């Protein structure tokens, strides 16, 4: 290995190739905990040394030095190819195929190849000869053995990748890419060797750069060594929610096992199909509209007697352009049933509580009326006994008025009991029925106006019961105390909640002069509104009617998913 070295431009291809491979080796070493990273790093190092041997061969001016570096570079070629085989085995099935025993068996031929080239037996593999001041190698019989072995390794690699392609649909593109790298590298090498009867290899960059560039694309662009990618795929496969990946035309590009189960179709039948062929018409049209608008949202539908909530979101590339759609299918059947059962339990509980309150109120009012009646009856009896008939007649008239008023109050209480004591009270429908009966009983014009967008589900069962009772109390006050002839009840949204407004044309009253919150049942109304987290506001003036406003906060309203 004596003799001078000179600069020549021929050294740059192998030097740049060596730097490229060493960069890949450094990256793989940093990710060495990932299956396949260590053998890939080793292959990069071996091939980089191979390329460096070519650079030194071109720089050497002495024939002996050229022959040494030729053998030196070739000695690292088979270890590099063997390390690639180890990488593919470990990546295709981590921990299964690249065992210590198999690694030891695979190391035999590369070690023997290196030892023979480094010893005086190297003529068994190659014979050096000089052509135009350069050194080349003619293949000896022993060299063909190792040449064939290298191609056996290549066939093994392709066989493993074909197995990976068939068994793992998620990695088919990767397996195809790695197979392309194997085919390209072996094709370049065979063309060089079989085009003549010697290794006429002034360094040909494609032999090393092309396959490793393909591996680099898989490594960096597809991130085959990134455990996060594998973790995400594993997590997607284990999701209870169905996952459909759609292209821009709304066709299924990918799915997980849960989606196959929900759609009740084989995976091969789902992939490539449009969602219009997989989802009900209304749901599919909604998804297509979301795709066109690039928006996200939730949509409800039914599949195979299941309640399904569809969640859509756009998929964007690094430029921010829409490339597809992610569609999640959530089975909310059990959730909806549990929610309906809970809602029914809440309604029953609210009804029982309200019946208990009404029972106490009726007991108190009935007790007062009967006590008054008993006292008056005794007084009348005494007046009759004493012969004071005029006084007795006046007291009888008063007693008749009290009884009539008590009868009206009892009828109104019974009406309120029927309204709020239903097993499943619905605010808007029940309120409409109540006003119809109210008009028929008392001859008072009562109008109801409900704003668009409000529905029965906007109010919890407990809030429904309390609001009905407060409204009934306000209507009683308008009839009994304000002597109103017309009443307006409006239901609308306000401040994220609901607002109920009750306006009458009665005689009104001076709020400041009331002096006690119990006046006209205001304490009763405020107490009930406080129980559901609502607010009560009253605006009234003598001769100007009364305005009662009931505000229900969002926390007391039923949540709606849109």
CATH of the domain at 472: 3.30.565.10
Q: Which two tokens stand for residue 180?
A: 């392309």
pLDDT of residue 417: 55
Task: Give yes or no for a contact between 303 and 270, defined as CB atoms under 8 angstroms apart.
Answer: no
Please name which of 222, 274, 151, 202 lies closest in space to residue 12, comparing C-alpha atoms.
Answer: 202
The mean of the pLDDT values for the chain is 78
Q: Answer yes or no: is pLDDT of 200 > 50.
A: no
pLDDT of residue 348: 72
Task: Give yes or no for a contact between 158 and 182, defined as CB atoms under 8 angstroms apart.
Answer: yes
Do residues 532 and 455 both lie within one domain?
yes
Question: 518 falls in which pLDDT band (50, 70, 90)?
Answer: very low
What is the domain-level CATH number for residue 262?
A: 3.30.450.20
Q: Answer yes or no: is pLDDT of 308 > 90.
A: no
Q: Answer yes or no: is pLDDT of 503 > 90.
A: yes
Alpha-carbon separation of residue 159 from 175, 251, 308 (angstroms)? 11, 32, 43
Domain boundary at 230, 256, 278, which? 230
Continuous segment of H or E residues that includes residue 380? helix 333-386
**By three-state DSSP, how is residue 331 classified?**
strand
Q: Answer yes or no: is pLDDT of 196 > 60.
A: no
Q: Which residues pair with 252 in a beta bridge?
A: 246
Q: Answer yes or no: is pLDDT of 515 > 90.
A: no
Give the Cα separation of 304 and 327 in Å (integer).
18
The arithmetic mean of pLDDT across residues 495-517, rounded, is 78
Domain range for residue 138? 9-230
Do residues 345 and 315 both lie within one domain?
no
The arithmetic mean of pLDDT across residues 113-131, rounded, is 81
Do residues 343 and 303 both lie within one domain?
no
Domain tally, the chain: 3
Question: Tell me: the pLDDT tens digits for 463-489?
Answer: 888 888 888 888 888 888 888 999 999
Phi/psi at 31 (5° precision): -105, 35
Question: 294 falls in which pLDDT band (50, 70, 90)?
Answer: low
Question: 177 falls in which pLDDT band (50, 70, 90)?
Answer: confident
Do residues 443 and 391 both lie within one domain?
yes
pLDDT of residue 102: 92
Helices (H) and strands (E) in the chain, counts: 17, 13
Phi/psi at 461 (5° precision): -60, -45
Give the Cα separation of 483 and 503 in Å (integer).
13
Q: Answer yes or no: is pLDDT of 249 > 70.
A: yes
Give the Cα separation of 37 and 84 in Å (integer).
10
Relative orientation angle of helices 63-75 and 100-118, to the nearest 10 degrees: 170
pLDDT of residue 374: 74
* 3-class SS string, 206-233: HHHHHHHHHHHHHHHHCCCCCHHHHHHH
**By three-state DSSP, how is residue 296 classified?**
coil
Task: Write the CB contacts of 398 (distance below 8 Å, at least 6 apart in sequence).
Answer: 376
Please name which of 40, 52, 140, 158 lies closest in space to residue 94, comparing C-alpha atoms.
Answer: 40
Q: Answer yes or no: is pLDDT of 257 > 80.
A: yes
Do residues 318 and 413 both lie within one domain?
no
Query: Does a structural domain hold residue 517?
Result: yes
Query: Does a structural domain hold residue 3?
Result: no
The arithmetic mean of pLDDT across residues 69-79, rounded, is 88
Task: Write the CB contacts of 190 (distance below 8 Å, at least 6 apart in sequence).
Answer: 151
pLDDT of residue 517: 41
The arithmetic mean of pLDDT across residues 34-48, rounded, is 86
The arithmetic mean of pLDDT across residues 187-212, rounded, is 59
Query: Does a structural domain hold residue 4?
Result: no
Do residues 167 and 49 both lie within one domain?
yes
Give the Cα separation of 373 and 403 in Å (integer).
8
What is the pTM assigned to this prediction?
Answer: 0.46
Do residues 299 and 437 both lie within one domain?
no
Find the largest Cα–Cα distance for the chain: 158
Q: Answer yes or no: is pLDDT of 67 > 80.
A: yes
Q: What percent of the chain has a predicted confidence (pLDDT) above 90?
A: 12
- Which of 8-12, 171-175, 516-520, 551-555 is the least confident region? 516-520
Query: Does a structural domain hold residue 562?
Result: no
Strand 445-450 with 486-494, pairing:
parallel
Domain boundary at 331, 362, 386, which? 331
pLDDT of residue 295: 67
Task: Give yes or no for a contact between 501 and 537, defined as CB atoms under 8 angstroms apart.
Answer: no
Place of tokens 């019946």: 355
pLDDT of residue 239: 78
Q: Which two tokens stand for residue 151?
A: 């191609």
pLDDT of residue 113: 92
């Amino acid at each position: 290995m004596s003799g001078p070295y000179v600069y020549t431009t021929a050294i740059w291809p192998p030097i740049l190739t060596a730097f490229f491979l060493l960069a890949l080796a450094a990256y793989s070493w940093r990710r060495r905990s990932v299956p396949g990273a260590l053998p890939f790093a080793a292959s990069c190092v071996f091939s980089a040394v191979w390329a460096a041997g070519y650079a030194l061969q071109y720089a050497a001016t002495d024939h002996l030095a050229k022959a040494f570096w030729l053998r030196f570079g070739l000695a690292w070629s088979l270890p590099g190819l063997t390390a690639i085989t180890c990488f593919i085995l470990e990546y295709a099935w981590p921990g299964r195929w690249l065992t210590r025993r198999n690694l030891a068996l695979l190391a035999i031929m590369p070690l023997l190849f290196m030892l023979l080239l480094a010893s005086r037996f190297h003529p068994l593999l190659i014979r050096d000869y000089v052509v135009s001041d350069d050194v080349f190698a003619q293949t000896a019989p022993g060299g063909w053995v190792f040449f064939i072995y290298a191609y056996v390794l290549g066939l093994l690699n392709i066989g493993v990748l074909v197995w990976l392609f068939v068994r793992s649909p998620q990695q088919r593109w990767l397996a195809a890419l790695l197979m392309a790298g194997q085919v390209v590298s072996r094709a370049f090498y065979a063309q060089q060797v079989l085009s003549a009867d010697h290794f006429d290899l002034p360094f040909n960059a494609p032999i090393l750069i092309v396959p490793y560039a393909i591996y680099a694309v898989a490594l960096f662009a597809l991130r085959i060594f990134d455990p996060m990618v594998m973790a995400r795929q594993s997590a997607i496969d284990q999701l209870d929610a169905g996952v459909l990946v759609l292209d821009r035309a709304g066709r299924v590009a990918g799915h997980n096992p849960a989606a196959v189960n929900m759609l009740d179709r084989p995976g091969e039948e789902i992939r490539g199909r449009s969602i219009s062929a997989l989802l009900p018409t209304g749901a599919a049209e909604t998804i297509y509209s979301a795709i066109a608008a690039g928006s996200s949202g939730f949509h409800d539908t039914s599949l195979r007697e299941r309640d399904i909530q569809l969640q859509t979101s756009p998929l964007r590339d690094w430029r921010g352009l829409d490339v597809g759609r992610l569609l999640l299918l959530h089975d909310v059947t059990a959730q909806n049933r549990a929610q309906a059962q809970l809602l029914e339990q809440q309604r029953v509980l609210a009804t029982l509580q309200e019946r208990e309150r009404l029972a106490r109120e009726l007991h108190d009012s009935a007790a007062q009326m009967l006590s008054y009646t008993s006292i008056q009856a005794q007084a009348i009896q005494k007046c009759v006994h004493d012969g004071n008939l005029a006084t007795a007649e006046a007291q009888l008239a008063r007693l008749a008025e009290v009884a009539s008023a008590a009868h009206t109050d009892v009828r109104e209480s019974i009406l309120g009991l029927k309204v709020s004591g239903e097993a499943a009270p619905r605010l808007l429908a029940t309120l409409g029925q109540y006003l119809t009966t109210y008009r028929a009983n008392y001859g008072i014009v009562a109008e109801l106006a409900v704003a668009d967008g409000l529905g029965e589900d906007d109010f919890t069962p407990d809030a429904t019961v309390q609001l009905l009772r407060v409204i009934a109390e306000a209507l009683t006050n308008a009839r009994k105390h304000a002597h109103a002839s017309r009443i307006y009840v409006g239901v609308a949204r306000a401040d994220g909640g609901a607002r109920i407004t009750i306006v009458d044309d009665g005689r009104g009253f001076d709020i400041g002069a009331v002096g006690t919150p119990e006046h006209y049942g205001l304490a009763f109304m405020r107490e009930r509104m406080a129980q559901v987290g609502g607010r009560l506001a009253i605006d009234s003036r003598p001769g100007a009617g009364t305005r009662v406003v009931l505000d229900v906060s969002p926390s007391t309203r039923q949540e709606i998913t849109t």
